[in-house]
Amino acid sequence: MNKIKPSLAKGTRDFGPEEMELREYVINIFRNVFDLFGFRSIQTPSIENIDTLTGNYGDEGDKLIFRILNSGDFLKKSDKNDFKESLLLKSKISNKALRYDLTVPLARFVSMNQDKISIPFKRYQIQPVWRADRPQKGRFREFYQCDVDYIGTNSVVCEAEIIDLVYTLFNKLKIDGIDFKLNNRKILQGIAEVYGLSNDFNDLCILIDKIDKIGLEKFEKELIKKGYNSKSVRSITELFNFNGSNLEKINFIEKIISDSEIGMDGIKEIKKLIEVNNNFTIDFSLARGLSYYTSSIFEVKSNKSNIGSLCGGGRYDNLTENFGLKNMPGIGISFGIERIFELLKDKEDPFIEFLKNKILISYLDSKYLPNCFSIAKKLRDENISVDLISDDIKLKKQLKYANKNNISYVMIIGEDEIKSNSYTFKNMENGTQVKNSIDEIIATMKSLKTNV
């Protein structure tokens, strides 16, 4: 049999035990914050029908969907002519795909379960998604998303709560210097109307969404290349460069798009939000390239890193209509947890003190194993994590095992310990050891256990 050189698919990663401890700790913080704000957890399949996914992410997004070949003879429904047209061939050999995000599957879930859920429906979801993107720092082909969404309400409370949720989450992660940027798609539509760009609105949003990468100068050139009036293009970039408070920005844009009905609707919506929660920065150059957004859009970035967007989202009032369910507005935000992990790794100061509540039970002779099992059960009954040496090895190697696995405490079982019911309890971080009863050890370990 040929030997296979072990390797990872491009854009994917393995996570060892230390990384997983960190990831699970952080994900638990996400879950706890989502619970604090009243969201409930769901899960959806990794695989969706291709018709469920396509048409929701714009042409560029659709190209990044990982399609799955039909099982069995996937070419049996195709003929020679299909090989001349890739899109035609794809539709015949692949009718399923890995999910691109969690929002479209949510719309499908709500449409299928509308009689089982209460409206408004508040859900959170933490699962992997896949995109056939070019891997780079903070961007992978397989990665986790953490989403919270409201379904079935137009209330401004949703935007206000999402803003507070974001700041609560980053505060618990000890990440400061974040900027919550907000815009409204209706205002962008108003700008497009005023400057004669309405016919290509989705393309305009995709291009605006790239400004951070390509810069305003190249943005202008791209629009002029598409045949738009250079004076109008420069006026748009001047809008994006305007500085001031949120109210100053609203007053500024209101004068420019006052003749646009939909643009004025967007201004009213932001004014209403400012009355409830003004803890955000209006950014007229924020577009969010996904085509399903209809109103409020937002994005959060770090002022201390150029890693990109840490989370983003917005309102999508028509998404469930694709599945036959009308009048079901939605709004949500998706956290790029992989980028958040990258940001945390770059912090000079430790952002987390790991829970030191794990203990290794070590024995001086295998004849004490029955005692070790009894003690391990008693500790575990108290919700204390216990590792038990499996091989009959010398004490020195047992202690080395504890150090390699970041186990801070070792309980040593020998003849004296069994007779006296007082056990050697060693702190591996500072090397001190004492003799304690099992109840004293339990009390010590519980004092170290802190809820995330």
437 and 384 within one domain: yes
Last residue of a domain, one of 310, 345, 380: 345
Peptide bond into 350 cis (omega under 30): no
In a domain, 75, yes or no: no
In a domain, 56, yes or no: yes
Q: How far apart are CA 433 and CA 435, in angstroms?
A: 7
105 and 37 within one domain: yes
Task: Please report how the helices 201-208 and 211-225 are oriented relative to each other, as an axis angle in degrees rounded to 10.
Answer: 140
Last residue of a domain, one of 345, 379, 407: 345
For 183-195, b/e burial (b = at least 16 CB within 10 A) is bbbbbbbbbbbbb
In a domain, 1, yes or no: no
430 and 301 within one domain: no
Helix (H) and strand (E) counts in the chain: 17, 16
Q: Of 15-24, 32-41, 106-115, 361-370, which gets the smallest average pLDDT?
A: 15-24
218 and 321 within one domain: yes
302 and 161 within one domain: yes
370 and 314 within one domain: no
In a domain, 279, yes or no: yes
Count structural domains, the chain: 2
In a domain, 77, yes or no: no
CATH code at 178? 3.30.930.10
416 and 377 within one domain: yes
169 and 38 within one domain: yes
335 and 190 within one domain: yes
Q: What is the pLDDT of residues 31-71, one digit of tens each?
A: 999 999 999 999 999 999 998 988 878 777 888 998 888 77
Q: How far apart are CA 159 and CA 153, in angstroms?
A: 11
In a domain, 350, yes or no: no
Domain residues for the domain of 134 are 17-65+100-345
In a domain, 353, yes or no: no
288 and 417 within one domain: no
Q: What is the pLDDT of residues 126-173, one digit of tens each?
A: 999 999 888 877 678 999 999 999 999 999 999 999 999 999 999 999
CA quadruple 71, 72, 73, 76: dihedral positive or negative? negative
Instruction: Tell me the mean pLDDT in the region 110-128.
Output: 93
CATH code at 430? 3.40.50.800
Binning the chain into helix, strand and coil, the percentages to the nearest 5 are 45, 20, 35
pLDDT at 208 over 70: yes
Last residue of a domain, one of 321, 345, 369: 345
In a domain, 254, yes or no: yes
Higher pLDDT, 341 or 142: 142
Q: Does this model's pTM top 0.95?
A: no
200 and 246 within one domain: yes
340 and 410 within one domain: no
